[in-house]
Amino acid sequence: MKITSPLALALLLAIASTPAVSELQTSTIEYTVNDSVFSGYLAYDDDFKGERPGVLVVHEWWGHNEFARSEAEKLASAGYTAFALDMYGSGKQASHPEDAQKLMQATMGDKQAMEDRFRAAMKVLQDQNTVDASRIAAQGYCFGGAVVLNMARMGLDLDGVVSFHGSLGSDISPEQGGVSPRLLVYTGGSDEFVPVDQVTGFVGEMMNAEADLTLVSFPDAKHSFMSPAADEIAEKFGMPIAYNEEAASRAWERTLRFYGEIFNR
């Protein structure tokens, strides 16, 4: 190719020297658990090369929705491969609290099914070529927070577990020394769904289990303080929940530091 124009040559050199722009890669992945189909959402940033830690994201009681996917994308932008899993199956979602409660209770009431669904999603994440299968964490919101804490109680091999305004009570009792992941738990001091006695009971439970626990309470935060949609939902259904921008921001920044510590990044 012969270039005679100085301007054309300059443009060609400029294009050649321009660094590639990183791009967030996302995809919907269907997987099967005990003959039922589930649908998760994978996200990673191709600007980060090679294998990296993976983080499972467990949705609120509403089901696998846009909020869960957006949290996975935030993790991807921070250098992780994230998989927003599906705990209900076939992408089931609820638009009313009564329906959400039914879905949540059906899932939490079947401990084996809950574990099977989580483990299946964990394997999907570990099988990705951008993931170091030996470095996996999980985080959850409300219902999802309870799920990830129960996985820790059950002794699953996770490096870290983060619960955002999740229920802290459970009928699953961990064995002494049986909680292997480091735990980071955020709760709201004004959360009517997670009262003080539940918080103190949880702390005692984890002390007896000799778990590595950090618990952060935001005094003025209500339930669902991480979710920007909480205020609209509160007004629509008269629920005592609210988005708290300061608490959400501080929790997210601390979570990224937590992952940096446990993964030595």
Confidence at 13, pLDDT banded by 50, 70, 90: very low
Tokens of residue 102, six digits: 């039914």
- pLDDT at site 166: 98
- pLDDT at site 6: 53
- pLDDT at site 19: 47
- pLDDT at site 14: 46
Q: Give every CB contact of residue 216 below 8 A, 6+ residues apart in sequence.
A: 184, 185, 186, 187, 251, 254
Find out whether 252 and 227 touch, Cβ atoms under 8 Å: no
In the block, which residue shows the tokens 């012969």? 2
Pick the residue with more confidence: 14 or 240? 240
What is the distance between the alpha carbons of residues 21 and 213, in angstroms, rounded to a whole number? 39
Confidence at 91, pLDDT banded by 50, 70, 90: confident
What is the distance between the alpha carbons of residues 229 and 67, in angstroms, rounded to a whole number? 9
Task: Give the CA angle between residues 63, 65, 69 to the nearest 5°.
Answer: 125
* Tens of pLDDT, residues 186-230: 999 999 999 999 999 999 999 999 999 999 999 999 999 999 999
Does residue 58 register a pLDDT over 80? yes
Beta bridge partners of 163: 140, 185
C-alpha torsion sign, points 210, 216, 220, 221: negative
Find out whether 133 and 112 touch, Cβ atoms under 8 Å: no
- pLDDT at site 5: 56
Average pLDDT value for residue range 36-40: 96
Domains for the chain: give ranges and CATH numbers.
22-262 (3.40.50.1820)
In the block, which residue shows the tokens 């820790």? 152
Confidence at 23, pLDDT banded by 50, 70, 90: confident
Confidence at 22, pLDDT banded by 50, 70, 90: low
Average pLDDT of the chain?
Answer: 93
* Tens of pLDDT, residues 69-89: 999 999 999 999 999 999 999
- pLDDT at site 21: 53
Does residue 16 register a pLDDT over 50? no
**Residues above pLDDT 70, as percent of the chain:** 92
- pLDDT at site 90: 84
What is the distance between the alpha carbons of residues 173 and 34, in angstroms, rounded to a whole number? 26
**Residues above pLDDT 90, as percent of the chain:** 90
